[in-house]
Amino acid sequence: MNSKLKINSTLKIKPINYFKGETEVQGDKSISHRAILLGGLLEGSITINNFLESEDTLNTARAYQKMGIEIKGLETKNVTIKGKGLNGLIEPDGILDLGNSGTSMRLLLGILSGQNFYSVVTGDKSLCRRPMQRVTIPLKKMGALIYGREKANFAPLTIIGKKLNGINFKSNVSSAQVKSCLILAGLFAKGTTVVTEPILSRDHTERMLAYFGANIKKKNILTTSITSKKKLLAKDIFVPGDISSAAYFIIGALILKNSKVTIKNVGINPTRTGILDILKNMGAKITLTNYRNINDEPVADITACSSKLNGTEISGDIIPRLIDEIPIIAIAAACADGETIIKNAGELRVKESDRIKTVTNGLTTLGIKVKELPDGMIIRGGMFSAGNKKFNSYGDHRIAMSFAIAGLKIQGGIVINDTDCINTSFPEFTNILKNLSY
């Protein structure tokens, strides 16, 4: 391993020669959240294998513990949760602080709206600025009582749980968090809840509910319906490796010379693999092996090798399949020949940071020609400028990790401040980065 690579509390990255080796990334964050949230509603105990222990997922677990759910092993990768059934949650004796996790807040709002008790949810400054009306408006149509700033658009939010009624909701945004929130509320609603989205978003909630025996159906690729059922069946679950985490090392291998990395046991749910499709269109040498299905989620090993990349256009239906990976895709685009155009990605404006602005600012600092668009960016591939560059992560884990990968190619290296945010999704990032670097 290259001893020149040093990573401290403020992330200091110096250039390396190549990436090499095999590794595994931590469990998928989206699936880990859902395993906790549904696990507490099952009839009986389950083990969640390969659970992601990160700040975001721990905030979900702590919220459930405050509502009477017994959870053991959170300091390990194998978590045991004792489900108390659909009506087993109890009123928390304090505010549920969800930190930086938008997934925790939006999905929990669906569950809390159907309870028979009072609750309050809040988060850090970033989460309290993220829009919640996209879920509170349809929840109110189901009969929920939710109060908060600007007509329940911003946390803190107060929920007075009550019996809900199913609705037929057509969302104007393609968001798994919106869809999942309403599907989870449908578990507690009278009648059937139907959610239609404009473009298919990730479907981990639907797959997991079907695995646990819920009365959930797909009417077509964009429409999901759920009807409440007396109980959900307890079955152990395995959390595949997170493709969003794997993406950093895949692209690291592509842009560094003489590199080859294999990442084992990665989830390749087709609603999440847009990044692989785009990278292959750019000329990336990526192969998938050892395909299998585990608790209704497809899994494979992914190998990436040094590649000559070309610019491309990223827009339309593929955007929901790679929305979280756009910051690291932008790093690949900066190393590619020609121009990469990213459009229809306005959702990036309301993530942990305004990722359109923070990515374009970062690439400009690196000497890359980039134009900010209202819903994306245009990146002209080129050479990163030399020098000891300094960045702020803006408290956004994906910005911090993406520019850490870029730093591996920058003469003089870079320093990224405010990198504690990496712990929200990928605490093992720096260790894996060290182990693959030569």
Catalytically active residues, by annotation: 324
- Residue 420 carries which side chain, given as an amino acid letter? D
Q: How far is CA 190 from the centre of its chain?
A: 31
301: tokens are 């090993």
Residues 137, 139: Cα–Cα separation, whole Å: 5
Q: Which residues fall within 8 angstroms of residue 391, CB to CB, at 6 or more apart?
A: 362, 365, 403, 414, 415, 416, 417
Residues 202, 179: Cα–Cα separation, whole Å: 9
- In 7-144, beta strands by DSSP E: 11-13, 20-24, 43-49, 70-72, 78-84, 96-97, 118-122
Report DSSP letters for 263-275, one per residue. EEEEE--TTTTHH
* CB contact burial 326-361 (16+ within 10 A = b; e otherwise): bbbbbbbbbbbeebbbbbbbebbeebbbbbbebbbb
Neighbours of 165 (CB within 10 A): 14
C-alpha to C-alpha distances, 195 to 218, 230, 251, nearest whole angstrom: 10, 21, 35
